[in-house]
Amino acid sequence: MNLQHRNFITLLDFTTKEIEYLLELSATLKQEKYDGIEHKVLPNKNVVLLFQKDSTRTRCAFEVGALDLGMGVTYLGPNGSQMNKKESVKDTARVLGRMYDGIEFRGYKQEHVELLGEHAGVPVWNGLTDQYHPTQILADFLTIQEHFGRLQGIKFAYVGDSRNNMGNSLMIGSAKMGLHFTGVAPKELWPEQALIDQCLEIAKDTGATITFTEDKMEGTKDVDVIYTDVWVSMGEPKEVWNERIAQLSPYQVDMSTLKNASDKAIFMHCLPAFHGKDTDVGAQIASDFGDVYPTVKNGEMEVTDEVIESPQSVVFQEAENRMHTIKAVMLATLRDHHE
């Protein structure tokens, strides 16, 4: 399998076999790290991490992954470069592509990561845009494989904003890898019909199913995985909170939702998660909306504290797997296949 020089911008660009390969490589790199086996196989290479939005996991995963592979790393934060303010994305791509061997981009627009990919001349990796978050899906699927030993046939419920970057990407990943994906949300938060149709087409070859429901209990009945994400994503205006809480508070993942799933079900979340008042936003939402919407009065939004702390929750294993999978993406796209 040769993925050298490829961009990693959306899972739509990758075949089932290529995704399987990336997951196998991730598992190997994880085992090597656990066994204390060094894999500094890309010395003399350098990567740059371009972040227009904040990050904990994605940034650290790219940094540690690159260092473990023996590479140099530069981090450019939301205020650290000329991009967008004084320099176009296209010019930035052509400058950075001459200095670096690979570029990670987290930003507002999918078209920007695509522009970078077209003009950089080196692999470009999507670390989240408004539309997609493909590296997260690799970590999620590695975690599911570690638990259930397979992806094919897994019953997967995504509860919440199903047309955000996570909803879109999990649906695509499920279609590619043969999962039974159900999006659970009010209709106005389902993905664009064109993307659903594209996934249904892919599913014909993989045995996946893609369905949607507005009914939380119907959508989570006997599933293997319950997944949720924040109700308001980075880059959305503060004003949408009011409407989004009204739409999604009935979809909070609480213990009754988790008990409705299979006995062996796991709970997943890409993180960061709002499950209490110990964040600025959680405390603010509790104080602004708690009287009207009792579900959020403790700062618990998409998931309750009890669920995230329960033995069925695998969110921190999932977070760790960001590093192993991102390392695999960098290695696969940068290493010389013939070496």
Specify the residue, 8 or 100, whose C-beta has the smaller distance to ligand NVA.
8
Catalytic residue among 6, 106, 112, 163: 106
Binding residues for ligand CP restricted to 82-141, rule: CB under 6 A: 128, 136
| Residue list 264-283, contact with ligand NVA (CB under 6 A) | 270
Interface of this chain with ligand NVA, residues 20 to 59, rule: CB under 6 A? none
Is 165 a binding residue for ligand NVA by CB under 6 A? The answer is yes
Among 198, 233, 247, 298, binds ligand NVA (CB under 6 A): 233
56 binds, among ligand NVA, ligand CP, none (CB under 5 to 8 A by kind): ligand CP
Q: Which is nearer to ligand NVA, 16 or 233 (CB)?
A: 233
275 part of the active site:
no
Residue in 27, 271, 279, 288 binding ligand CP, rule: CB under 6 A: 271
55 marked ligand binding residue:
yes
Handedness of CA 217, 218, 221, 224 (dihedral sign): negative
136 catalytic, yes or no? yes
26 a known binding residue? no
Please select the residue that binds ligand NVA; options are 52, 164, 304, 325, rule is CB under 6 A.
164
x/- map, 314-333, ligand NVA, by CB under 6 A: --------------------
Out of 52, 110, 131, 136, which one is annotated catalytic? 136
Q: Are 122 and 98 in contact (CB under 8 A)?
A: no
Q: Is 322 annotated as a binding residue?
A: yes
Residue 335 known to be catalytic: no
Nearer to ligand NVA, 209 or 233 (CB): 233
> Where in the sequence numbering do the catalytic residues fall?
106, 133, 136, 229, 270, 322
- Residues flagged as binding site for L-ornithine: 165, 229, 233-234
